Amino acid sequence: MRDEIARTGVVLTDIRKSFGNLEVIHGINLKITEGSFVVFVGPSGCGKSTLLRMIAGLEEVTDGEIEIKGRDVTDLDPSERGIAMVFQSYALYPHMSVRDNLGFGLKMARTPKVEIEARVRAASAILKIDPLLDRRPGQLSGGQRQRVAIGRAIVRKPEVFLFDEPLSNLDAELRVSMRIEIARLHRELRNTMIYVTHDQTEAMTLADKIVVLRDGRIEQTGSPREVYEKPANIFVAGFIGSPR
Ligand code: ADP
Ligand code: MG
């Protein structure tokens, strides 16, 4: 029993979200196994980002409860949740070097300098960005910027990584290679990863488990194969591209 609790990464219980009087997330229940790679997929506006932002603590839940590794984090600040989020827009500081971008969060958390240096070095090696440490974001390509954004999450050693469409600003070729990098990262780090995309191919290739969303509700959860071969309904079949 204890073991089972320890292996639960993230639990969402009856999560709802309203903006004004408009409810956009209608009671989501989901258990995410620790160390798994879960992809939220669905059309634009279905609530993927809102759900992710609530897990991150960047958006308050209107109702419901969020647990991370057995701890109720519903009312905790983002910095207290053991998560790190990677955004589509990278959100790097333009006036800082790559090195300082990577270390900034740790510096704010008063991590000792030696420790920051060690973690920045380790993350740079994993992402192969060591030669870029003295550059500024403006001197990097899109793919390199995205690597730095991911590096900034890695240095924080989060329990859970949250990705919101991290590759959608990249061209098609780079998207494929970054996708492979992210899959490799998950194999190396073995953290729980929650990844949001509207791209079916990304979802199918990265996920241990796919969560198909539509209009603020879960239509189906399952392995890529289950969702593809046994779509729960016409919407899922159409969205995933299953043969019918
Ligand atoms: P997705 O990421 O799947 O494209 P979002 O989570 O961004 O979808 O949005 C879900 C719904 O919530 C949409 O209808 C969107 O217009 C609405 N929404 C998101 N953020 C806000 C906000 N800050 N204020 C009002 N409505 C919002
Ligand atoms: Mg979104």
pLDDT tens-digit readout, 40-87: 999 999 999 999 999 999 999 999 999 999 999 999 999 899 999 998
Q: Which stretches of 25-160 are DSSP H helices?
A: 48-56, 98-108, 113-127, 142-154
Q: How far is the CA of 173 from the centre of ligand 2 (A)?
A: 22
Q: How far is the CA of 88 from the centre of ligand 2 (A)?
A: 9
Neighbouring-strand partners of residue 33: 8
Q: For residue 165, which atom of ligand 1 is closest to its CA?
A: 2
Ligand nearest to the CA of 40: 1
Taking CB atoms and a 6 Å cutoff, what residues make up the pocket around ligand 1? 19, 24, 42, 44-50
Q: Atom 24 in ligand 1: which residue has the minimum CA distance?
A: 19
Q: How far is the CA of 207 from the centre of ligand 1 (A)?
A: 23
**Cβ-Cβ contacts under 8 Å for 172 (sequence gap 6 or more):** none
How would you class 76 by CB atoms within 10 Å of its CB: exposed for 0-12, middle for 13-18, buried for 19 or more? middle
Ligand nearest to the CA of 24: 1
Instruction: State the pLDDT confidence band at 151, using cuts at 50, 70 and 90.
Output: very high
Q: How far is the CA of 121 from the centre of ligand 2 (A)?
A: 31
Rounded CA-CA distance 124/232 in Å is 42
Instruction: State the pLDDT confidence band at 152, using cuts at 50, 70 and 90.
Output: very high
Q: Atom 27 in ligand 1: which residue has the minimum CA distance?
A: 19
Interface pTM, i.e. ipTM: 0.99
Spatial CA neighbour of 162 closest among 76, 53, 243: 53
pLDDT tens-place string over residues 192-234: 999 999 999 999 999 999 999 999 999 999 999 999 999 999 9
Q: Best of 19, 22, 164, 213 to mutate for ligand 1, by most ligand atoms within 8 A of CB?
A: 19
- For residue 244, the model assigns a pLDDT of 61
Residue 17: HSE in the Cβ half-sphere, 13 Å Cα cutoff? 25
- For residue 3, the model assigns a pLDDT of 53
pLDDT tens-place string over residues 159-198: 999 999 998 888 888 889 889 989 999 999 899 999 999 9
Rounded CA-CA distance 162/84 in Å is 6
For the chain, how many residues are written?
244
Q: Atom 2 in ligand 1: which residue has the minimum CA distance?
A: 49
Q: Average pLDDT in the 103-114 region?
A: 93
Q: Atom 15 in ligand 1: which residue has the minimum CA distance?
A: 45
Ligand nearest to the CA of 165: 2
